[in-house]
Amino acid sequence: MLRDLVIVGAGPVGATLALALRDADLDLVVLDSRAAGTPYRSDRSLALSHGARLILERLDVWPRLASTRGVVTPITSVDVSQARGFGMTRLVASDHDVPALGYVVSYRALQSALDAALARAGIGIQFGAAANKVGGTPAYVAVTLTDGNADPITARLAVIADGSGALVDGIRRERKDYGHVAVTAKVAINRPHGGRAFERFTDEGPMALLPEGEDYGVVWTMTPERAQETLALGDNAFLDALAARFGPRFEGFVGVSSRRSFPLALEIARPTIGTRAVVVGNAAQSLHPVAGQGFNLGMRDAFELAQTIITTPRDALGDGPMLATYAKRRLPDRVAGIAFTHGLVQLFGTSFPLMSWPRGFALTLLDSLPPAKRVFARAMLFGIHT
């Protein structure tokens, strides 16, 4: 049976694509490796841009998500500074005519809202179906599952949205290890945060405080060796180390929970399209968490791909010209988003003492030039290019 479309991965990016195609009269199937009725193994916090909110509003997901108590925390301002050096800038939502610069959302809560929206739209998910190879021909693409007893799924087009690194013919992944890990935690504070987020650049790498409920979520960059030592600390010692590293920009940490770590690397798919196949989201690019670009870039991948599919005749779905059109449309945003994130890591993530002055100058210049601040804010809200 030849389907029109197979989407590998029903996470936020794959689900966004499926929902954006709900009225397109396509024979599509969505595959997901998790078992039916089960959440993803671990929860984590996501920083959604204003642009991502607009996408979720169009899909009728945002109103239900935002109405659930304690699930969505608006970021009304962002304080950007460097430790042991001058220079800072502050972005405020009201200066850019938006209700918030972004939102911190639980991954599980977002996934649950998307699952419910898929069910309302009558889009079924084939659970327990993990792909391990995707190969295309001029006529169709075949998705082979890890279950050796399952028949390959054939379609005009396959979209890989699970970030699992399933082998796709003609697409390779390049990886640059940053040599650091991110330690994440949830910290309680002794006063209301008012929706204020912090991005703090230290000699070990970027740190972020993201308002989450009544507390803060922490993303703390450090070497793998230091991460092991930090995770082994008692709660009070951990908070003391956090306060010492973060410096005087914020004080008042009183509790900590949910500590974990993950390695930091840049992974890029080259190219993003193969024969009747395309990769989106983390399968296309996995970025450093600084400035929160990666997830939002993936959401834009999905929504833009949906618009391309909708305007493509069925008999041209998945062919070379159609995929080339999509790749060309996404290239400026994708390249700029990768370069922006990687550039911040290179400029602000080095301990080289002579870099402190140009970093401080850049932050001071950004804060003193409203046009430059608007460009920077627009990148945070909508991406580098839309």
pLDDT confidence of residue 223: 93
pLDDT confidence of residue 340: 79
Other beta carbons less than 10 A from residue 26's beta carbon: 18
pLDDT confidence of residue 290: 79
What are the helix and strand counts (H, E) for the chain?
10, 20
Query: Is the distance from CB of 325 to CB of 310 less than 8 angstroms?
Result: no
Query: Which residue carries 């950007």 as its tokens?
Result: 80
- Separation between Cα atoms, residue 312 and residue 321, nearest integer Å: 10
pLDDT confidence of residue 164: 61
Burial tier of 2 (Cβ tally within 10 Å: 0-12, 13-18, 19+):
exposed
3-state SS assignment for residue 62: helix
pLDDT confidence of residue 183: 96
pLDDT confidence of residue 386: 46
Please write the tens of the pLDDT for every residue from 322-367.
999 999 999 999 998 898 788 777 766 555 555 565 666 566 655 5
pLDDT averaged over consecutive 10-residue blocks of the chain (386 residues)? 96 97 96 82 82 95 91 93 74 89 93 94 93 94 91 96 79 92 96 94 86 95 95 97 90 95 94 96 91 89 97 97 97 90 71 56 61 67 62
- Residue 265 tokens, joined: 């690397």
Query: What domains does the chain contain, in order, with CATH numbers?
Result: 2-72+107-174+266-348 (3.50.50.60), 178-265 (3.30.9.10)
In a 13 Å sphere around the CA of 76, the CA atoms on its Cβ side amount to 6
